[in-house]
């Protein structure tokens, strides 16, 4: 489906090539993850698939690209749009019209698809991506995850064989990101769609992809199935890092798999971690913290933090993470409950006093 041979490319403004000697062959039905540090060439490589590079970017290009037998360098973006559906990081940048249905139909109108077929295709992709109930909604009223699904539906309405996505989940909260990736897995499995995905949340996609391609400084550093890739990649998610240190082989791709194969070792580790944590002095104690703006938000939040611990507060957008932190350092006064930092009750202290013990960095 994709044949890239010794591809080298430089942007007109930069002396250093953004892609160097990249060779990559992708079969129909594969689900390829492109990973690598920021600036390593992932987006540039993706843009070569539909001719955005070099047709919109200019610059000098060498080597060959074939996508479904077509040459994007010679043919350009319009000719490739029926073969490669493109989805970007920001849904706002891709929407053209203001309702869901109109936006999805827009690309089909441009491609001069007859009205009857157009209606059928729009219905089909809306059903596929769970958008049917949102058909008449204004795009501006949709959540980020819903807007990304509209962007994917718009791309799929042209019935491309390849879907190329550039960090489509980076603006989404964890749940919306997980839902979007589930939708991609379904498209890959059920329609046999070839998917090329740039994504930095590796742990989410590793169980589903057939290959991982790692970019570094414009070069293809490695190209391997996910387990092999994670055993040698410059970075890996925590689970695979743990597996690498403990010499697990083959590396597990999910926690469930790790439990099944290495459950005893994990049990030992867990009790060791628990012993270490229990031995720590409690530095922060949060008990029954309750707070709301116009309606209740934090309800009876309780936890302790030991000396030297690093604690991640997780939750979907609007679940109260930032509010909790603001309560802890006294920027918001709790309605009920207590916060103790280093043995001192802080609920009655001023923020300035609390911040002598606990430094606070806000989101913006």
Candidate segments 35-43, 59-67, 132-140, 345-353, binder of Mg ion by CB under 5 A: 35-43
- Residue 126 contacts ligand ADP per CB under 6 A: no
Distance in angstroms (rounded) separating the CA atoms of residues 78 and 154: 15
Q: Name the residue with tokens 């509209």.
A: 150
CB of 201 to Mg ion, least distance (A): 14
Is 93 exposed, middle or buried (CB count within 10 Å of its CB: 0-12, 13-18, 19+)?
exposed
Neighbours of 283 (CB within 10 A): 17
Cβ proximity to Mg ion, 146 vs 167, nearer residue: 167
Distance in angstroms (rounded) separating the CA atoms of residues 276 and 295: 39
- Residue 180 contacts ligand ADP per CB under 6 A: no
- Residue 68 contacts ligand ADP per CB under 6 A: no
**Does residue 190 sit in helix, strand or coil?**
helix
- Residue 43 contacts ligand ADP per CB under 6 A: yes
Contact by Cβ (8 Å): 30, 222: no
CB of 241 to ligand ADP, least distance (A): 22
Q: Which of 43, 99, 240, 346 binds Mg ion (CB under 5 A)?
A: 43
Cβ proximity to Mg ion, 94 vs 323, nearer residue: 94
Q: Which of 2, 7, 32, 44 binds ligand ADP (CB under 6 A)?
A: 44
String of contacts with ligand ADP for each residue 305-344, x by CB under 6 A: ----------------------------------------
CB of 6 to ligand ADP, least distance (A): 18
Q: Which of 30, 42, 88, 104 binds ligand ADP (CB under 6 A)?
A: 42
Cβ proximity to Mg ion, 152 vs 339, nearer residue: 152
Cβ proximity to Mg ion, 43 vs 81, nearer residue: 43
String of contacts with ligand ADP for each residue 79-118, x by CB under 6 A: ----------------------------------------
Cβ proximity to ligand ADP, 168 vs 330, nearer residue: 168
> Which of 1, 5, 107, 11 lies closest to 53 in space, CA to CA?
11
Which strand (E) or helix (H) includes residue 146? helix 144-157
* From the list Mg ion, ligand ADP, none, partner contacted by residue 18 (C-beta under 5 to 8 A by kind): ligand ADP
344 phi and psi, to 5 degrees? -110, 135
* From the list Mg ion, ligand ADP, none, partner contacted by residue 248 (C-beta under 5 to 8 A by kind): none
Strands (E), 75-210: 84-87, 162-166, 194-198
Distance in angstroms (rounded) separating the CA atoms of residues 80 and 361: 46
Strands 336-341 and 344-345, sheet pairing: antiparallel
Q: Which of 40, 188, 194, 346 binds ligand ADP (CB under 6 A)?
A: 40
Contact by Cβ (8 Å): 131, 146: yes
What residue spans of 206-346 are helical by DSSP H? 226-232, 238-246, 255-278, 321-328
Distance in angstroms (rounded) separating the CA atoms of residues 1 and 15: 31
CB of 22 to ligand ADP, least distance (A): 11
Query: Could you tell me the maximum CA-CA distance found in the chain, to the nearest angstrom?
Result: 73
Under rule CB under 6 A, which residues in 209-228 are in contact with ligand ADP? 215
Q: Which of 3, 8, 11, 299 binds ligand ADP (CB under 6 A)?
A: 11
Distance in angstroms (rounded) separating the CA atoms of residues 109 and 178: 31
- Residue 39 contacts ligand ADP per CB under 6 A: yes
Point out which residues bind ligand ADP (CB under 6 A): 11, 13-14, 18, 36, 38-44, 57, 215
Q: Where along the sequence are the contacts to Mg ion (CB under 5 A)? A: 42-43
């Amino acid at each position: 489906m994709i044949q890239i041979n010794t591809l080298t490319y430089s942007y007109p403004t930069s002396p250093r090539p953004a892609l160097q000697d990249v060779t990559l062959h992708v079969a129909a039905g594969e689900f390829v993850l492109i990973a690598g540090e920021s600036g390593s060439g992932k987006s540039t490589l993706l843009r070569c698939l539909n001719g955005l590079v070099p047709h919109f970017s200019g610059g000098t290009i060498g080597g060959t690209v074939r996508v479904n037998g077509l040459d994007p360098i010679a043919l350009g973006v319009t000719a490739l749009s029926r073969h490669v559906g493109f989805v970007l990081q920001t849904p706002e940048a891709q929407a053209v019209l203001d309702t869901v249905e109109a936006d999805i139909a827009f690309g089909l109108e441009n491609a001069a698809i007859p009205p009857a077929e157009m209606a059928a295709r729009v219905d089909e992709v809306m059903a596929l991506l769970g958008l049917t109930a949102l058909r008449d909604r204004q795009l501006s009223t949709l959540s980020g995850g819903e807007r990304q699904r509209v962007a994917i539906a718009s791309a799929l309405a042209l019935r491309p064989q390849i879907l190329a996505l550039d960090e489509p989940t980076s603006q989404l909260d964890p749940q919306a990101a997980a839902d979007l990736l589930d939708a991609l897995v379904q498209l890959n499995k059920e329609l046999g769609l070839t998917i090329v995905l740039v994504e930095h949340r590796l742990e989410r996609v590793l169980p589903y992809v057939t290959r991982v391609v790692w970019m570094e400084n414009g070069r293809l550093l490695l190209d391997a199935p996910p387990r092999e890739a994670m055993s040698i990649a410059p970075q890996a998610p925590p689970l695979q890092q743990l597996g690498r240190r403990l010499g697990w082989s083959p590396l597990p791709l999910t926690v469930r798999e790790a439990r099944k194969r290495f459950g005893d070792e994990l049990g030992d580790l867990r009790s060791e971690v628990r012993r270490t944590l229990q031995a720590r002095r409690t530095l922060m104690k949060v008990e029954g913290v309750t707070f709301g703006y116009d309606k209740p938000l934090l309800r009876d939040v309780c936890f302790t933090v030991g000396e030297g611990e690093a604690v991640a507060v997780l939750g979907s957008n609007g679940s109260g993470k930032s509010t909790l932190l603001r309560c802890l350092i006294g920027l918001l006064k709790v309605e009920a409950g207590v916060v103790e930092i280093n043995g001192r009750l802080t609920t009655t202290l001023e923020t300035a006093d609390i911040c002598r013990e606990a430094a606070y960095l806000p989101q913006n």
